[in-house]
Structures are given as C-alpha cells and as structure tokens.
C-alpha cells in the first residue's frame, strides 16, 4: 500500500508499505479520506518539542471495512466507518480495534463524516454543559468552532456569537446559525459583547484558536461565575493568564479536551448521529481536497489558511 511518511520538516515522502496485519479484535480499513488536523501542523513544520523523524501521522480516518478479525462482531466487510486511531492515517489501509469504529450510513459522504474532529467538538460542548438559552461566544471560529457552533445551537443555546478575523468564516458562521458575527479588527469585541448581554458578559466563552490573544480576549467576554472553556489546541510556549482576575470573576474553568478512547468514540457516535440526522452541516466546511501524492501541498494550504479555507482532507 502507499503511505505518506513525514521524513523531515515539511517533507512527506510517499512510500510503499505492507498492508497492516490485524489482531482478532481489529478491523482493516481501506482509507477513503483522512483529514488534515491543525494539531499536526507543528509536527509538519518541525516545531513540536521532542519530535523524532520519520513520523507516520494522520488520525481523522474514514473508510471501508476490508477485513475483520476473528472476534469482531459489530462489523462486516464493506461497512462504511469513521474511526479513532493513534496515527498512521495517511495510508491506503489502517488497522483499528473494533471498539474504535463507528458505522456510517452508505449514503453519508466520506469526507463529511470526519468522526475524530466531530467527536472533539461534541465533547467540548458536552463539557461546557450548556443550559437552555445560555449565551455563548466562540472566539476563533474556524473548522472546529463552526462544528461547535452548530452543536451548541442543537443543544439549546440562545445567543451564539462568533468572533474571527476572516470575513469568509464569519459569513459561514451566519449561514450555520450564529446570531452575531464580530470581526475584532472592525469592532470593539469586548464592548459589543457587553452591549449584547446587558453589560454582564456571556454565560459560556469558548477559546477555540489556541493562541495567547484569543485566550485573553475570551476571558474578557465571560460574565462573573460564567464558564470559560479553553478548547483551542495550545502548542508552543507556555501561556500567561491574569489569574487574579479569573479568580475574582469566579469563572468555571473548563478544559475542552478529552483523552479517553471511550469518550472519543462516544462523542463520535453522538456527532455522526447528528450528521446523519441533518442537524450538523459538514458539507460547507470541507473546502479543500488533495490526493495523497499532494499531501505536502495540502499541509501548506492548511498552515497558511487562505481566506476561503476551512478544512482540507487527503483523499484516496
């Protein structure tokens, strides 16, 4: 099979590798799509600490079951599935445990059924424990923020405010149901949120960009005793927070991430159910597709984030 191996920073090489053998509790997937994840960009650029090349990455896999292990009971050959995997996703075949796969309707588009990022967004909303008519502000409303926006809406949130620096993202947020869209270079976001919330601030502020600037801004938008959720994937150096202010405001501070495989798969089942019930629109979010041979170009686009970019996937 062909697989993309990251040999050095910014240098994927396409190699011929053996198709993985499967254990009795595993299934072999013929990959159809693997999403390009923001968490992998620092690896691709060689910035992440402790990297040892070569790397065999890729974890947002959707495909078709080609072979099942002797103990597998829930799947059969030909089933369409989204899976949770530790890596090795930029390859024509992937082996995963049966319990890490979720079956899809054959009517569901492979490139929309990106179970792993959908699971992350679902679990982030679940951890925020949104209540009916809660006001929510998403600061950094890219691919993950746009999924969360829709799930917050489905979960019963009232006012949903999207904050981003790209006009195309804000336009898309409006299509997907945000009640307000704010560009921080065009309006005073802090004042605008105060005006929208009667001076209090939002019930739930979600930092979804993973940088110091958005972390600081989100803390300024949440009401006293409100929920401050750090959902962005923070890479690089340590962050600084105004702990005295956070303490005084009595924020409920939430880490939006999960690490348990069980919770990942649980979130996948919920999110893919919403997708197939037409309550989650992924069609508008998958904007760029690249064949495996163009994986380096795909990462270049994902890193530069041009105006019309939301999410790129590798196709097989």
Average pLDDT for 159-171: 97
pLDDT on residue 139: 98
The yes-or-no verdict on residue 142 having pLDDT over 90 is yes
> 2-114+286-315: what CATH class?
alpha beta
Q: Residues of CATH 3.40.50.720 domain(s) within the chain?
A: 118-255
Model confidence over 66-91: pLDDT tens digits? 999 999 999 999 999 999 999 999 99
Which CATH number, 3.20.20.10, 3.90.190.10, 3.40.710.10, 3.40.50.720, labels domain 118-255?
3.40.50.720
Instruction: Kindly write down the DSSP assignment for every residue of 88-130, as one continuous string.
Output: --SBSEEEEEGGGEEEE-TTS-GGG--HHHHHHHHHHHHHHT-
Outline which parts of the chain fall under CATH 3.90.180.10: 2-114+286-315
For residue range 225-257, list pLDDT tens digits in order. 999 999 999 988 899 999 999 999 999 999 999
Q: What is the 3-state secondary structure (H, E, C) of 185-212?
A: CCCCHHHHHHHHCCCCCEEEEEECCCCH
Please state whether beta strands 222-230 and 252-255 pair in parallel, antiparallel, or not at all (unpaired). parallel
Residue 50 has pLDDT above 90, yes or no: no
Distance CA 212, CA 203 (A): 21
**Who's near 163: CB < 8 A, 6+ residues apart?**
137, 138, 139, 140, 141, 181, 182, 183, 184, 189, 217
Q: What are 128's two structure tokens?
A: 């925020």
Whether 167 has a pLDDT exceeding 90, the answer reads yes
């Amino acid at each position: 099979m062909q697989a993309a191996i990251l040999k050095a920073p910014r240098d994927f090489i396409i190699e011929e590798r053996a198709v993985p053998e499967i254990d009795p509790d595993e299934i072999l997937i013929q990959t159809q799509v693997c999403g390009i994840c923001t968490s992998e960009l620092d690896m691709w650029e060689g910035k992440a600490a402790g990297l040892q090349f070569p790397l065999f990455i890729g974890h947002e896999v959707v495909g078709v079951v080609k072979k099942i292990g002797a103990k597998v009971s829930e799947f059969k050959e030909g089933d369409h599935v989204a899976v949770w995997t530790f890596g090795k996703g930029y390859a024509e075949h992937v082996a995963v445990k049966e319990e890490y796969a979720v079956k899809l309707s054959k009517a569901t588009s492979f490139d929309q059924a990106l179970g792993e990022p959908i699971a992350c967004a679902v679990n982030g909303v679940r951890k925020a424990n949104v209540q009916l008519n809660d006001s929510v502000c998403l600061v950094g409303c890219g691919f993950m923020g746009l999924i969360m926006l829709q799930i917050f809406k489905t979960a019963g949130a009232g006012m949903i405010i999207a904050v981003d620096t790209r006009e195309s993202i804000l336009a898309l947020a409006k299509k997907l149901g945000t009640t307000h869209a704010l560009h921080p270079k065009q309006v005073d976001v802090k004042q605008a949120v105060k005006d929208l919330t009667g001076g209090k601030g939002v019930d739930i502020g979600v930092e979804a960009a993973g940088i110091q600037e958005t972390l600081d801004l989100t803390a300024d938008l949440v009401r006293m005793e409100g929920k401050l959720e750090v959902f962005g994937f923070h890479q690089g150096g340590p962050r600084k927070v105004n702990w005295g202010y956070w303490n005084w405001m009595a924020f409920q501070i939430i880490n939006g991430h999960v690490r348990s495989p069980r919770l990942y798969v649980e979130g996948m089942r919920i999110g893919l159910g919403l997708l197939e019930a037409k309550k989650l629109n992924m069609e508008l979010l998958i904007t760029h597709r690249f064949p495996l041979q163009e994986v380096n170009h795909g990462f270049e686009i994902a890193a530069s984030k041009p105006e019309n970019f939301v999410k790129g996937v590798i196709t097989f």
